[in-house]
Amino acid sequence: MIPGLGDTTLWRTSSYIDGEWVAGESTYAVVDPASGQPLAQVARAGARETLQAVAAASRAFGTWRETTAAERAAVIRRWGELMLAHRDDLARIMTAEQGKPFAEAQGEVGYAASFLTWFAEEARRAYGDIIPAPKQGARIVVTKEPVGVVGAITPWNFPLAMVTRKAGPALAAGCTMVLKPSEETPLSALALAVLAKQAGVPPGVFNVVSGDAPAIGDTMMASKAIRKISFTGSTRVGKLLMRAAADSVKKVSLELGGNAPFIVFDDADLDAAVTGAMASKFRNTGQTCVCVNRFFVQSSVHDAFVEKLVQAVRGLKVANGMEPGATQGPLINRAALRKVEAHVADACEKGGTVLCGGRPHALGGTFYEPTVIVGAHGGMALAHEETFGPVAAVFRFDTEEEVIQAANDTDYGLSAYFYARDIGRVWRVGQALESGMVGINEGIVSTEVAPFGGVKESGLGREGSKYGLDEYFEVKYMMMGGL
């Protein structure tokens, strides 16, 4: 248990299957990344628990799909309201297991709840179609049907929002779900299950199993009952799942890695660009899939932008996320720290200059100093791999053609950002960027009302918005003849 938790019933360490808390045969430690100390021993689920959860979800599907959209909406909306009513407790649990500053965690609770509210509303608007028939005495009716049991696999960087972004539309569509949260942040997902139960989500409709990731994943992929996999995480694991989905031809939605460019043109409002840059780059200590990985700044404004950026970065406060005023928490684990260190060392060896930061933070553990590096170029590892840490690497460019080519020179295409005022340039660049999402004079693109997702190796499908609901439907067409 963590200090300050108001509603201690939110603290759960068992799997949640068929509306029951199921202790496993063994447990594993969930660690506070700020201290490196264990927070809780959580049931280690594997194939057996996953099969139980899939069986429960299959049984529940038969009745959940028959409920009216209004009935599902009422339950899902109540779930979102309960999240907001427990905002601080959920945020406390999240900061403890994930490390993000408490204020950011509170923000994530609101963002996560917004997916439940939005999809509760959308559940009632899943309209079908009537198509003029090609012959007399016939009608063509198109309906949308829930795909079935959904297997959801989520990452540690948004322990609540990545869950509700899948569970909201899935349950709204009439699907049931087996969720495997990241083994590093299961406590938030289990707290969410407590609230699901309170909200009236029936047993088996939402199940949570955490533990042995490959065993749970393999069991999900082998299951014929699971008709869809929705995954958010690394491109490496996404490719594994996509291959495995072929055997039973499951639908797949994949939200994978990114390598976001952030372009500052010479007509940009530099102060606005710095504000957007800070929000996009340093949120969650640089550990979001839409975080900027490469800053491209036009030569004539390069030095002015960099000076303002460094000043803003120096204003960040690195601390335990529960400390008042903290803006940068720890990295999630040692492997994350090693990757950031390797990218910075590689950049320095290849001619980059560190203007601030560039080292592990004096707090030790996995804390790292917010860093700005100039003189970045395409030969550096950070140009091609997602750093996933608080490192702003700045590339200099001269022409629009050159920067579009460089920005698109990546296997990824999740989000891109640029700052410019010229209307012709805004349209040209917005259309030329190979990216599922583009922030134009905006550093944050995530919202429940818009389609989130990537192109190229950043993924398949969209989450949030009306497009996100369609991912959980099959389209059925009925030709009625003999009328």
> What positions carry a catalytic annotation?
255
Instruction: Count CA atoms within 13 Å of residue 135 on its CB side.
Output: 7
Pick the piece of the chain touching ligand ADP (CB under 6 A) from 132-140, 148-156, 368-376, 455-463. 148-156
Closer of 154 and 253 to ligand ADP (Cβ): 154
For ligand ADP, which residue of 214, 351, 379, 481 counts as binding (CB under 6 A)?
A: 214
End-to-end CA distance of the chain: 66
Site string for ligand ADP, 155-174 (x = CB under 6 A): x-------------------
Question: What are 94's two structure tokens?
Answer: 């999240």
Task: Tell me the H-state helices in 200-289.
Answer: 213-222, 235-245, 270-282
Question: What are 458's two structure tokens?
Answer: 């950043």
For residues 355 and 136, give the distance between their C-alpha atoms in angstroms, rounded to a whole number: 75
Pick the piece of the chain touching ligand ADP (CB under 6 A) from 23-31, 42-50, 176-184, 365-373. 176-184
State the minimum distance, in angstroms, from the CB of residue 376 to ligand ADP. Answer: 23
Which one-letter amino acid corresponds to residue 432? A
Closer of 139 and 334 to ligand ADP (Cβ): 334
Which residues on adjacent β-strands are paired with residue 294? 261
State the minimum distance, in angstroms, from the CB of residue 460 to ligand ADP. Answer: 15
- Counting contacts by CB under 6 A, is residue 153 touching ligand ADP? yes
- Counting contacts by CB under 6 A, is residue 46 touching ligand ADP? no
Pick the piece of the chain touching ligand ADP (CB under 6 A) from 50-58, 118-126, 231-239, 337-345. 231-239
Which one-letter amino acid corresponds to residue 144? K
Output phi, psi for 136, to 5 deg: -70, 155
Which one-letter amino acid corresponds to residue 468? G
Site for ligand ADP in 182-201 (CB under 6 A): 182-183
Site string for ligand ADP, 93-132 (x = CB under 6 A): ----------------------------------------
Closer of 151 and 352 to ligand ADP (Cβ): 151
- Counting contacts by CB under 6 A, is residue 378 touching ligand ADP? no
- Counting contacts by CB under 6 A, is residue 154 touching ligand ADP? yes
Pick the piece of the chain touching ligand ADP (CB under 6 A) from 98-106, 197-205, 234-242, 339-347. 234-242
Closer of 146 and 151 to ligand ADP (Cβ): 151
Question: Which helix (DSSP H) or strand (DSSP E) does residue 477 occupy?
Answer: strand 473-480
Nearest to 284, CA basis, from 153, 16, 98, 144: 98
CB atoms within 10 A of CB 92: 23
Question: What are 291's two structure tokens?
Answer: 């975080």
Question: What are 146's two structure tokens?
Answer: 């829930």
**Tokens 């979001």 belong to residue:** 288
Output phi, psi for 379, to 5 deg: -80, -5
CB atoms within 10 A of CB 425: 15
Output phi, psi for 367, to 5 deg: -75, 140
Nearest to 2, CA basis, from 123, 105, 130, 135: 105
- Counting contacts by CB under 6 A, is residue 152 touching ligand ADP? no
- Counting contacts by CB under 6 A, is residue 213 touching ligand ADP? yes
State the minimum distance, in angstroms, from the CB of residue 295 to ligand ADP. Answer: 22
- Counting contacts by CB under 6 A, is residue 258 touching ligand ADP? no
Asked whether the beta carbons of 345 and 380 are under 8 A apart, the reply is no
Closer of 217 and 443 to ligand ADP (Cβ): 217
For ligand ADP, which residue of 237, 331, 376, 383 counts as binding (CB under 6 A)?
A: 237
- Counting contacts by CB under 6 A, is residue 240 touching ligand ADP? yes
State the minimum distance, in angstroms, from the CB of residue 31 to ligand ADP. Answer: 14
- Counting contacts by CB under 6 A, is residue 54 touching ligand ADP? no
Which one-letter amino acid corresponds to residue 219? T
Asked whether the beta carbons of 72 and 123 are under 8 A apart, the reply is yes
| Beta strand pairing call for 139-146 and 473-480 | antiparallel
Q: Site size for ligand ADP, by CB under 6 A?
A: 13
Task: Enumerate binding residues for ligand ADP (CB under 6 A).
Answer: 153-155, 180, 182-183, 213-214, 217, 233-234, 237, 240
